[in-house]
Amino acid sequence: MKLIISDTSLYSLSEDTRVPKEYLAQLKNYGQCEIYITPYDTIIITLPTRTLPVSHLIEENWVAPTPYGNVRNVFLVEQLIDGTQTNLFIKSPERLFTSNQILLGKKDFWWGGRRSGEKPLLIQNNPAIEEQGFWEAIFLLELAKNKIKAEIPQAILITNPIEYRVIVERIERGLVIKGPGLQEITSSIQKLGIIPVDLSYYNIVPDRDGYIHIIDTNRWYWPPYTDAFIQKIFETIRAATLPEKIQNYNINL
């Protein structure tokens, strides 16, 4: 089978409201970005740290992604339809949030997972929620800029109806840990002004050389840059916590 290649090599932002121009301006602060659109109307924003061909970033080229993740949709793509091997994680924003009014009163809206006992609230196709994908990419780019080891972001995908997905290169896992430890890495991140929410042992991966890499940065805060985003996402969740909208979801991620 033939790989599907973008019909348009460079896409005009003025033709589509799914990509706010201020987002692209911030991404370009880290280097060159390119925008493509697939025949299936998915926008691909390649990031300055991209190491893979654009053909690897097109969903229609992927073979049988394998599901991962606990509280959000994450898929591993290991092969393209032409047999080419690749090694990508496709990460959606979190779309399940807590409906616990006590937590929401503290602006703690992240869902605690199945074991928390919290009723999850599902919010889909909402720009305020999907903006997580943009900020996850920004955090990874900032870490790369400061030579802090983490996932290497390749692109942001934006579908129609609006959903964001961040593509990162999979880290080849090792068994031995050496180099800076989690406490030292956390301190380096905090010196950048970033608040690495939930950075713990379950959000790091040692590579084959034993160095720790950070994964899953979508919950992080970076005042004052993320203040407006956090307020938007909070107001969206608050507005959705009407009793008739809250359900228990049986999810298999």
Task: Give residues with Cβ within 8 angstroms of 72, minimum separation 6.
Answer: 91, 92, 93, 94, 95, 96, 218, 253
Task: Give residues with Cβ within 8 angstroms of 162, minimum separation 6.
Answer: 18, 125, 126, 127, 130
Q: Mean pLDDT, the chain, as a whole number?
A: 87
pLDDT of residue 92: 96
235 in a domain, yes or no?
Answer: no
Q: How many domains does the chain have?
A: 1
Which pTM was predicted?
A: 0.89
Instruction: Convert the pLDDT of each residue in 61-94 to its tens digit.
Output: 999 899 987 789 999 999 999 999 999 999 999 9
Percent of the chain exceeding pLDDT 90 equals 62
- CB atoms under 10 Å from CB of 67, counted, come to 10
Percent of the chain exceeding pLDDT 70 equals 89
Task: Give residues with Cβ within 8 angstroms of 195, minimum separation 6.
Answer: 220, 221, 222, 223
204 in a domain, yes or no?
Answer: no
Query: In the beta sheet, which residues pair with residue 164?
Result: 158
pLDDT of residue 38: 86
135 in a domain, yes or no?
Answer: yes
229 in a domain, yes or no?
Answer: no
Cβ atoms of 55 and 88 within 8 Å: the answer is no
Instruction: Find the domain containing 55 and state its range.
Output: 13-172
- The three-class DSSP label of residue 18 is coil
Distance CA 173, CA 185 (A): 18
221 in a domain, yes or no?
Answer: no
User: Which token pair is 169?
Assistant: 């290169």
104 in a domain, yes or no?
Answer: yes
56 in a domain, yes or no?
Answer: yes
Instruction: Convert the pLDDT of each residue in 158-181 to its tens digit.
Output: 998 889 999 999 998 888 788 889
76 in a domain, yes or no?
Answer: yes
